Amino acid sequence: MAHPIPPSSIPPLERLRQIMHILRAPGGCPWDAEQTHESLRKHLIEEAYEVVEAIESGDRDAIVDELGDLLLQPVFHAEIASQSGLFDLDDVASAICEKLIRRHPHVFGDSVVENSEGVLSQWEKIKEGEKGGSKSQSILKKANEGLPSLMAAQKIQSKVAKVGFDWPDLGPVVAKIREELAEVEEAIESGSSEELSMEIGDLLFAVVNLARKTGNEAELNLHQANRKFVDRFRLVEEQIAGRGSSLESSTLAEMDAAWELAKDSEK
């Protein structure tokens, strides 16, 4: 027996919550009913990245669609938690409302800040106070938890930079990248796969530092590079297919030539 569809006359967020409740209820969707906080983690990350992709496309409909998919995730998690009485969507919304009010005393109180930098500094002080202000706790606590590695590296570097552990300009940053690249080459020559793995990690960390120091987001930089590579390689595939050939039967030189043509077409 089909469930009644929640009416479109009710507020959209409440309608979404009711739909999610039906999907998880007996007689609803078996897949939705089986999900847990743990099983949904990858979907939460994927949806966030798809929102970024939509924003970069500038497509209004795509942004709305992907933000909807992302919005579903907290609603889904709240529905799972509500079934065990742990918390519900109202608890989630109330918590963020109180946090925003608490951390914006320059808007909802008497605090005065001059610019965005002052806002961020105040935010961190309030955040520290909420945690009890314990100075025995490392400033890097949880900095490496739950984030993609490039984002975590940039967060770690930003946190230590706030206490002065940072180079003053780009010169030493670029020199460090060269140093790490030389160590990667040495590891290749040594034949040690373990050493090479460690040195590649050090090189990536150094490159993330360059992104941070130049006002870039390393995660987004790599995301853009991935997309550019995919777009170019599709052109390579089209060129080779247009010649009645295939990637498998093409030589590296032929694919390189097609790659250069794809690059030229971007100009």
Among the listed residues 160, 170, 149, the one whose alpha carbon sits nearest the alpha carbon of residue 218: 149
User: What is the share, in percent, of the chain residues with pLDDT greater than 70?
Assistant: 98
- More confident site: 176 or 227: 176
Q: What confidence tier does 138 reach under pLDDT thresholds 50, 70, 90? A: confident
Residues 71-96 have a mean pLDDT of 96
Identify the pLDDT of residue 181. Answer: 97
3-state helix, strand, coil in the chain (%, to 5): 70, 0, 30
CA distance 69 to 47: 6
The structure tokens listed for 211 are 């992104």
Identify the pLDDT of residue 216. Answer: 95
The structure tokens listed for 207 are 């490159």
CA distance 264 to 186: 35
Q: Tell me the whole-structure pTM to 2 decimals.
A: 0.68
Q: How far is CA 200 from the centre of its chain?
A: 22
The structure tokens listed for 222 are 């790599």
Cα–Cα distances in Å, from 50 out to 66, 146, 202? 6, 18, 29
Q: With contact defined as beta carbons under 8 Å apart, do 113 and 119 qualify?
A: yes
DSSP letter assigned to residue 135: T
Query: What does the pLDDT look like over 21-63, one tens digit per residue?
Result: 999 999 999 999 999 999 999 899 899 989 988 998 999 999 9
Identify the pLDDT of residue 135. Answer: 54
Triad 91, 13, 34: Cα angle to 5°? 70
Identify the pLDDT of residue 134. Answer: 54
Class of 12-87 in CATH: mainly alpha
Q: How many CA atoms lie within 13 A of 20 on its CB side?
A: 23
Query: What does the pLDDT look like over 230-254, one tens digit per residue?
Result: 999 999 999 999 999 999 999 999 9
Residues 165-191 have a mean pLDDT of 96
pLDDT at 143 exceeding the cut of 90: no
Location of structure tokens 């780009």: 170
Strands (E), the chain: none
The structure tokens listed for 231 are 């777009």
Cβ count within 10 A of residue 47? 18
Q: With contact defined as beta carbons under 8 Å apart, do 177 and 183 qualify?
A: no
Q: How many CA atoms lie within 13 A of 4 on its CB side?
A: 3
pLDDT at 136 exceeding the cut of 60: no
Residues 145-158 have a mean pLDDT of 88
User: What is the share, in percent, of the chain residues with pLDDT greater than 90?
Assistant: 79
Q: Give the domain ranges of the chain.
A: 12-87, 220-266
Cα–Cα distances in Å, from 221 out to 47, 87, 156? 18, 37, 18
Cα–Cα distances in Å, from 155 out to 69, 159, 161? 26, 6, 10
pLDDT at 5 exceeding the cut of 60: yes
Identify the pLDDT of residue 145. Answer: 74
CA distance 244 to 105: 66
Q: With contact defined as beta carbons under 8 Å apart, do 58 and 94 qualify?
A: no
